[in-house]
């Protein structure tokens, strides 16, 4: 059972940790702490197929949902992550209805989609995997560009898309927003709130990438339900830096 998706469908926020260092052990350590999911970042993280497979297993053993960000919106790459055991997929840089439809087609089996059969790594989810995965899988498309923000409601209305995962950094760059200024920060926040509202109007689940608990709570308070609150690399660095500071170094 994809407990993270179930929480979101009940209107409760699902909190995740992102892992990018390429270490299945990092995923294993984070999974039992109480996160609703752990997101293996295949786009920007140091992952390849073998250690991604191990990470998914480590996450399941920790009692939480394995999810992954795919490298790009590609039928084969999306299917491969699902075949390895991912229960959710984040697809980056989805800028149009057509691109959202392509992601949705790759995520579910016929007749609801076009996913090819052969989930060699999904046995960790039980013998009835094929009977229930189309309901349990969670597809989030990333709204992280000016064109995507303008078309957010139409993109989110695509059948088979379950929600979004807003990319604040790329969105600011695409919109030409200077986050060092008060006006820039206000425009950025307004754009993100607009995407959240468009997603809600489409009856889908709003989500966002947040760097820490403070920003995660900020966006949860504004309606986001699919929220990552930090990543393994940042968590390690912040703790190390604080330790040195506490020791006067």
Beta partners for residue 88, in sequence order: 67, 138
Measuring CA to CA, how many Å separate 5 from each of 12, 36, 83?
A: 10, 9, 19
Which pLDDT does position 193 carry in this prediction?
97
Domain boundary assignment for the chain: 3-139+210-246
Q: Which CATH number fits domain 3-139+210-246: 3.40.50.300, 3.30.210.10, 3.30.70.100, 3.20.20.60?
A: 3.20.20.60
Which pLDDT does position 1 carry in this prediction?
82
Q: Quick one: pLDDT band at residue 154, thresholds 50, 70, 90?
A: very high
- 125 labelled catalytic: no
pLDDT-above-70 percentage for the chain: 100
- Of the candidates 12, 34, 44, 213, the residue annotated as catalytic is 44
Q: Quick one: pLDDT band at residue 122, thresholds 50, 70, 90?
A: very high
């Amino acid at each position: 059972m994809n407990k993270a998706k179930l929480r979101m469908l009940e209107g409760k926020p699902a909190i995740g940790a992102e892992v990018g260092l390429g270490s299945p052990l990092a995923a294993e350590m984070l999974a039992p702490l109480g996160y609703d999911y752990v997101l293996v970042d295949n786009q920007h993280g140091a992952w390849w197929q073998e250690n991604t497979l191990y990470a998914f297993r480590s996450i399941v053993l920790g009692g939480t949902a394995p999810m992954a960000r795919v490298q790009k919106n590609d039928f084969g790459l999306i299917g491969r992550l699902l075949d390895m055991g991912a229960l959710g997929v984040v697809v980056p840089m989805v800028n149009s209805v057509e691109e959202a439809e392509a992601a949705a087609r790759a995520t579910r089996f016929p007749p609801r989609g076009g996913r090819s059969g052969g989930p060699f790594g999904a046995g960790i989810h039980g013998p009835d995997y094929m009977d229930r995965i189309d309901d349990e899988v969670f597809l989030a498309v990333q709204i992280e560009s000016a064109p995507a923000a303008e078309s957010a409601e139409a993109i989110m209305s695509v059948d088979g898309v379950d929600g979004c995962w807003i990319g604040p950094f790329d969105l600011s760059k695409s919109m030409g927003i200077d986050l060092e200024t008060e006006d820039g920060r206000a425009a950025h926040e307004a754009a993100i709130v607009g995407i959240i509202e468009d997603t809600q109007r489409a009856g889908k689940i709003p989500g966002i990438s947040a760097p820490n608990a403070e920003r995660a709570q900020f966006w949860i308070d504004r309606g986001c339900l699919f929220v990552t609150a930090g990543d393994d690399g940042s968590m390690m660095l912040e703790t190390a830096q604080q330790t040195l500071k506490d020791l006067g170094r």
